[in-house]
Protein backbone atom coordinates (compact mmCIF):
# COMPACT_ATOMS: atom_id res chain seq x y z
CA UNK A 1 0.00 0.00 0.00
CA UNK A 2 2.83 2.35 0.92
CA UNK A 3 4.49 1.65 -2.45
CA UNK A 4 1.29 2.35 -4.41
CA UNK A 5 0.88 5.91 -3.07
CA UNK A 6 4.23 7.24 -4.40
CA UNK A 7 3.56 5.63 -7.79
CA UNK A 8 0.09 7.23 -7.94
CA UNK A 9 1.49 10.63 -6.98
CA UNK A 10 4.21 10.32 -9.62
CA UNK A 11 1.65 9.50 -12.31
CA UNK A 12 -0.53 12.39 -11.22
CA UNK A 13 2.39 14.86 -11.41
CA UNK A 14 3.49 13.51 -14.79
CA UNK A 15 -0.07 13.85 -16.14
CA UNK A 16 -0.19 17.46 -15.00
CA UNK A 17 3.12 18.24 -16.67
CA UNK A 18 1.97 16.66 -19.96
CA UNK A 19 -1.29 18.64 -19.91
CA UNK A 20 0.65 21.88 -19.35
CA UNK A 21 3.05 21.12 -22.19
CA UNK A 22 0.14 20.31 -24.51
CA UNK A 23 -1.54 23.64 -23.76
CA UNK A 24 1.72 25.44 -24.54
CA UNK A 25 2.11 23.64 -27.86
CA UNK A 26 -1.10 24.83 -29.50
CA UNK A 27 -0.25 25.47 -33.18
CA UNK A 28 -1.43 28.84 -34.43
CA UNK A 29 -1.53 29.21 -38.21
CA UNK A 30 0.63 32.08 -39.46
CA UNK A 31 -1.21 35.27 -40.30
CA UNK A 32 -1.40 36.13 -44.00
CA UNK A 33 0.58 39.19 -45.01
CA UNK A 34 -0.42 41.74 -47.65
CA UNK A 35 -0.49 40.50 -51.25
CA UNK A 36 2.42 41.40 -53.47
CA UNK A 37 1.21 44.21 -55.73
CA UNK A 38 4.60 45.39 -56.99
CA UNK A 39 5.71 44.79 -60.55
CA UNK A 40 9.10 43.20 -61.26
CA UNK A 41 11.90 45.74 -61.69
CA UNK A 42 14.50 45.49 -64.44
CA UNK A 43 17.96 45.08 -62.89
CA UNK A 44 20.08 44.78 -66.03
CA UNK A 45 19.90 44.31 -69.79
CA UNK A 46 22.50 42.73 -72.07
CA UNK A 47 23.10 44.46 -74.43
CA UNK A 48 22.14 47.65 -72.60
CA UNK A 49 18.86 49.37 -73.41
CA UNK A 50 19.31 52.10 -76.09
CA UNK A 51 22.45 50.42 -77.48
CA UNK A 52 23.80 51.91 -80.72
CA UNK A 53 25.37 49.91 -83.58
CA UNK A 54 23.49 46.88 -82.28
CA UNK A 55 24.68 43.53 -83.71
CA UNK A 56 23.46 40.95 -81.16
CA UNK A 57 21.05 38.12 -81.93
CA UNK A 58 20.07 37.58 -78.29
CA UNK A 59 18.88 39.97 -75.56
CA UNK A 60 18.89 39.04 -71.86
CA UNK A 61 16.76 40.99 -69.37
CA UNK A 62 17.29 40.36 -65.64
CA UNK A 63 14.65 41.32 -63.06
CA UNK A 64 14.61 41.52 -59.25
CA UNK A 65 12.27 38.51 -58.86
CA UNK A 66 11.14 35.38 -60.67
CA UNK A 67 9.21 36.20 -63.84
CA UNK A 68 7.08 34.42 -66.43
CA UNK A 69 5.86 35.17 -69.98
CA UNK A 70 2.12 35.40 -70.69
CA UNK A 71 0.48 35.61 -74.13
CA UNK A 72 3.56 36.94 -75.88
CA UNK A 73 1.91 36.81 -79.33
CA UNK A 74 -0.81 39.34 -78.41
CA UNK A 75 1.35 41.47 -76.11
CA UNK A 76 4.67 41.96 -77.87
CA UNK A 77 4.90 44.65 -80.55
CA UNK A 78 8.16 44.79 -82.48
CA UNK A 79 8.77 47.99 -84.44
CA UNK A 80 9.41 48.05 -87.34
CA UNK A 81 7.09 45.07 -87.78
CA UNK A 82 9.02 41.80 -87.58
CA UNK A 83 8.74 39.27 -90.38
CA UNK A 84 9.57 36.51 -87.88
CA UNK A 85 8.32 36.71 -84.30
CA UNK A 86 11.27 36.56 -81.88
CA UNK A 87 11.58 33.62 -79.51
CA UNK A 88 10.93 34.91 -75.96
CA UNK A 89 11.51 32.73 -72.90
CA UNK A 90 11.56 33.24 -69.13
CA UNK A 91 13.69 31.30 -66.66
CA UNK A 92 13.98 32.27 -63.00
CA UNK A 93 14.72 36.03 -63.03
CA UNK A 94 15.73 36.26 -66.68
CA UNK A 95 13.87 36.88 -69.94
CA UNK A 96 15.72 36.05 -73.14
CA UNK A 97 14.76 37.32 -76.60
CA UNK A 98 16.15 35.48 -79.60
CA UNK A 99 16.01 37.68 -82.71
CA UNK A 100 15.12 35.69 -85.83
CA UNK A 101 14.99 38.54 -88.36
CA UNK A 102 17.90 40.02 -90.27
CA UNK A 103 18.07 43.53 -88.85
CA UNK A 104 18.03 46.48 -91.25
CA UNK A 105 20.97 48.88 -91.17
CA UNK A 106 20.64 52.33 -89.58
CA UNK A 107 17.25 51.46 -88.08
CA UNK A 108 15.81 52.02 -84.61
CA UNK A 109 13.97 48.99 -83.20
CA UNK A 110 11.64 48.89 -80.21
CA UNK A 111 10.24 45.88 -78.36
CA UNK A 112 7.05 46.86 -76.50
CA UNK A 113 6.20 43.95 -74.18
CA UNK A 114 2.72 45.10 -73.15
CA UNK A 115 1.72 42.94 -70.14
CA UNK A 116 3.73 39.88 -71.25
CA UNK A 117 6.36 39.94 -68.48
CA UNK A 118 4.79 39.14 -65.09
CA UNK A 119 5.94 38.00 -61.67
CA UNK A 120 5.37 34.35 -60.82
CA UNK A 121 3.39 34.74 -57.57
CA UNK A 122 0.72 37.35 -58.31
CA UNK A 123 0.95 37.90 -62.11
CA UNK A 124 1.88 41.56 -61.66
CA UNK A 125 2.98 42.80 -65.10
CA UNK A 126 5.97 44.97 -65.90
CA UNK A 127 4.07 48.00 -67.21
CA UNK A 128 5.14 50.37 -69.98
CA UNK A 129 8.37 48.48 -70.61
CA UNK A 130 9.98 48.96 -74.01
CA UNK A 131 13.47 47.84 -74.97
CA UNK A 132 15.07 49.97 -77.68
CA UNK A 133 18.20 49.71 -79.79
CA UNK A 134 19.58 51.04 -83.06
CA UNK A 135 21.65 49.32 -85.73
CA UNK A 136 23.03 52.76 -86.63
CA UNK A 137 24.85 55.49 -84.74
CA UNK A 138 21.76 57.25 -83.34
CA UNK A 139 18.27 56.52 -81.98
CA UNK A 140 15.26 57.88 -83.87
CA UNK A 141 13.09 59.83 -81.44
CA UNK A 142 10.12 61.20 -83.40
CA UNK A 143 6.53 60.44 -82.34
CA UNK A 144 2.98 60.43 -83.70
CA UNK A 145 0.07 60.43 -81.24
CA UNK A 146 -3.70 60.55 -81.53
CA UNK A 147 -7.07 59.07 -80.70
CA UNK A 148 -9.59 56.79 -82.45
CA UNK A 149 -13.33 57.16 -81.80
CA UNK A 150 -16.20 55.49 -83.65
CA UNK A 151 -17.93 57.90 -86.02
CA UNK A 152 -21.47 56.61 -85.41
CA UNK A 153 -21.64 57.07 -81.64
CA UNK A 154 -18.31 58.42 -80.40
CA UNK A 155 -17.58 55.13 -78.60
CA UNK A 156 -14.12 53.71 -77.97
CA UNK A 157 -13.16 50.38 -79.53
CA UNK A 158 -9.85 49.40 -77.92
CA UNK A 159 -9.66 46.25 -80.07
CA UNK A 160 -8.68 48.34 -83.11
CA UNK A 161 -5.09 48.99 -84.08
CA UNK A 162 -3.49 51.95 -85.83
CA UNK A 163 -0.96 51.21 -88.56
CA UNK A 164 1.59 53.34 -90.41
CA UNK A 165 2.56 52.56 -94.00
CA UNK A 166 5.47 53.90 -96.01
CA UNK A 167 3.43 53.23 -99.15
CA UNK A 168 1.49 56.50 -99.46
CA UNK A 169 -1.26 55.16 -101.73
CA UNK A 170 -4.85 54.65 -100.51
CA UNK A 171 -4.59 50.92 -101.27
CA UNK A 172 -1.43 50.35 -99.22
CA UNK A 173 -3.35 48.41 -96.60
CA UNK A 174 -4.47 45.94 -99.27
CA UNK A 175 -1.03 45.31 -100.71
CA UNK A 176 1.46 45.40 -97.85
CA UNK A 177 2.02 44.78 -94.19
CA UNK A 178 2.39 47.96 -92.10
CA UNK A 179 5.78 49.39 -91.24
CA UNK A 180 4.57 50.14 -87.70
CA UNK A 181 1.42 49.41 -85.73
CA UNK A 182 0.23 50.04 -82.20
CA UNK A 183 -2.68 49.26 -79.90
CA UNK A 184 -5.26 51.65 -78.48
CA UNK A 185 -5.52 52.16 -74.74
CA UNK A 186 -8.85 52.11 -72.87
CA UNK A 187 -9.48 55.76 -73.85
CA UNK A 188 -8.85 55.12 -77.55
CA UNK A 189 -5.44 56.82 -77.55
CA UNK A 190 -2.46 55.65 -79.56
CA UNK A 191 1.20 56.63 -79.66
CA UNK A 192 4.09 55.78 -81.96
CA UNK A 193 7.57 56.47 -80.60
CA UNK A 194 11.14 56.03 -81.86
CA UNK A 195 10.14 56.92 -85.43
CA UNK A 196 12.48 58.24 -88.14
CA UNK A 197 11.67 61.53 -89.83
CA UNK A 198 9.43 60.20 -92.61
CA UNK A 199 5.96 60.54 -94.14
CA UNK A 200 3.35 57.83 -93.57
CA UNK A 201 -0.16 56.81 -94.50
CA UNK A 202 -2.21 56.12 -91.38
CA UNK A 203 -4.97 53.48 -91.13
CA UNK A 204 -7.22 52.37 -88.29
CA UNK A 205 -8.30 48.75 -88.74
CA UNK A 206 -9.34 45.71 -86.79
CA UNK A 207 -6.60 43.66 -85.23
CA UNK A 208 -5.60 41.71 -88.33
CA UNK A 209 -2.12 43.10 -88.80
CA UNK A 210 -0.63 39.66 -89.53
CA UNK A 211 -2.35 39.62 -92.90
CA UNK A 212 -3.34 42.17 -95.52
CA UNK A 213 -6.67 43.92 -95.01
CA UNK A 214 -9.36 42.29 -97.16
CA UNK A 215 -12.45 41.86 -94.95
CA UNK A 216 -15.25 43.96 -96.42
CA UNK A 217 -17.27 43.86 -93.18
CA UNK A 218 -14.50 45.13 -90.87
CA UNK A 219 -14.14 48.56 -89.30
CA UNK A 220 -11.84 50.64 -91.44
CA UNK A 221 -10.58 54.20 -91.72
CA UNK A 222 -7.65 56.05 -93.21
CA UNK A 223 -6.46 59.59 -92.85
CA UNK A 224 -6.91 61.46 -96.13
CA UNK A 225 -3.68 63.40 -95.69
CA UNK A 226 -0.11 62.24 -95.28
CA UNK A 227 1.14 61.99 -91.70
CA UNK A 228 4.57 63.47 -91.07
CA UNK A 229 6.66 63.15 -87.94
CA UNK A 230 7.67 66.77 -88.53
CA UNK A 231 4.10 67.83 -87.68
CA UNK A 232 3.44 67.21 -84.01
CA UNK A 233 -0.34 67.86 -83.53
CA UNK A 234 -2.35 64.92 -82.25
CA UNK A 235 -4.63 63.24 -84.80
CA UNK A 236 -8.22 62.08 -84.26
CA UNK A 237 -9.48 59.34 -86.58
CA UNK A 238 -13.15 58.33 -86.67
CA UNK A 239 -13.72 55.02 -88.49
CA UNK A 240 -17.10 53.80 -89.69
CA UNK A 241 -18.37 50.29 -90.11
CA UNK A 242 -18.30 50.96 -93.85
CA UNK A 243 -19.94 49.44 -96.86
CA UNK A 244 -16.88 48.46 -98.83
CA UNK A 245 -16.47 47.10 -102.32
CA UNK A 246 -13.18 45.48 -103.29
CA UNK A 247 -12.57 44.91 -106.98
CA UNK A 248 -9.17 44.48 -108.61
CA UNK A 249 -7.54 45.51 -105.31
CA UNK A 250 -9.37 48.85 -105.36
CA UNK A 251 -11.03 49.90 -102.11
CA UNK A 252 -14.11 52.11 -102.34
CA UNK A 253 -15.46 53.46 -99.05
CA UNK A 254 -19.07 54.51 -99.66
CA UNK A 255 -19.61 56.42 -96.43
CA UNK A 256 -17.65 59.60 -95.83
CA UNK A 257 -14.91 59.07 -93.26
CA UNK A 258 -14.50 61.75 -90.64
CA UNK A 259 -11.02 62.96 -89.71
CA UNK A 260 -9.69 65.97 -87.91
CA UNK A 261 -6.43 67.22 -86.51
CA UNK A 262 -6.47 68.69 -83.03
CA UNK A 263 -5.04 72.16 -82.84
Across 7-21, 87-101, 147-161, 187-201, least confident range: 7-21
**CATH 2.60.40.1120 occupies which residues in the chain?**
142-261
Most confident residue range from 3-7, 44-48, 177-181, 229-233: 44-48
User: Taking all residues of the chain, what is their mean pLDDT, rounded to a whole number?
Assistant: 79
Question: H-type helices in 25-133, by residue range?
Answer: 72-75
pLDDT band of residue 43 (cuts 50, 70, 90) is very high
CATH of region 42-134: 2.60.40.1220
**CATH 2.60.40.1220 occupies which residues in the chain?**
42-134
Residues whose CB is less than 8 angstroms from the CB of residue 224 and which lie 6 or more positions away in sequence, other chains included: 257, 259
More reliable by pLDDT, 81 or 222:
81
Q: Quick check: 241 pLDDT over 60?
A: no
Give residue-wise pLDDT tens across range 181-225: 999 998 989 999 999 999 998 888 877 544 444 544 455 666 777
Q: Taking a C-beta distance cutoff of 8 angstroms, is the pair 183, 79 a contact?
A: no
Across 108-117, 124-133, 152-161, least confident range: 152-161
CATH of region 142-261: 2.60.40.1120
pLDDT band of residue 239 (cuts 50, 70, 90) is low
pLDDT band of residue 3 (cuts 50, 70, 90) is low
Q: Taking a C-beta distance cutoff of 8 angstroms, is the pair 62, 42 a contact?
A: yes
How much is the pLDDT for 192?
94
Most confident residue range from 1-10, 42-51, 175-184: 42-51
Give residue-wise pLDDT tens across range 131-156: 999 999 999 999 999 888 877 777 78
Q: Quick check: 11 pLDDT over 70?
A: no
Contacts 24+ apart (CB under 8 A), 61-65: 61/94, 61/95, 61/96, 61/97, 61/117, 61/131, 62/93, 62/94, 63/93, 63/94, 63/95, 63/117, 63/126, 64/40, 64/93, 65/40, 65/93, 65/119, 65/120
Across 12-21, 73-82, 119-128, least confident range: 12-21
Amino acid sequence: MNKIVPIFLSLLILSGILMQLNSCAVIVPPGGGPRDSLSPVLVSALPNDSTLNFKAKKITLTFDEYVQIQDIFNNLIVSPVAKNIPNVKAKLREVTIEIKDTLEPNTTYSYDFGNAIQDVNENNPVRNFTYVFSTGDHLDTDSITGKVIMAEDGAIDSTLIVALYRDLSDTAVLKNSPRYYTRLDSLGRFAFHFLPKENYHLFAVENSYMKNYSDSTAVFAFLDSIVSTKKIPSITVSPYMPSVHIQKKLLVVKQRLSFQKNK
